[in-house]
Homo-oligomer: A and B are copies of this chain.
Amino acid sequence: MPDPSAATPQPLSPDEEALVRALGQVMHVLPRVIDADMVGDRQLPLTEYTALMNLSETPERRMRMNELAALCHLSLSGMTRTIIRLETQGLVRRERCEEDARGWNAVLTDAGFARLTESWPSHLAAVRRRFLQHFEGFDLTQLALAFQRAGTAEPTD
Interface on A for B, CB 8 Å cutoff?
1-2, 4, 6, 8-9, 11-13, 15-16, 18-20, 22-33, 36-37, 40-41, 50, 73, 121-122, 124-125, 127, 129-132, 134-135, 138, 140-144, 146-153, 156
Contact = CB atoms under 8 A, between A and B. Distances in A.
Nearest to A23: B147
A30 B20 CA distance: 11
A50 B25 CA distance: 12
Given A25-B151, A146-B135, A15 B141 contact: yes
Contact of A19 (B26, B37, B144, B150): B144
B19 A151 contact: no
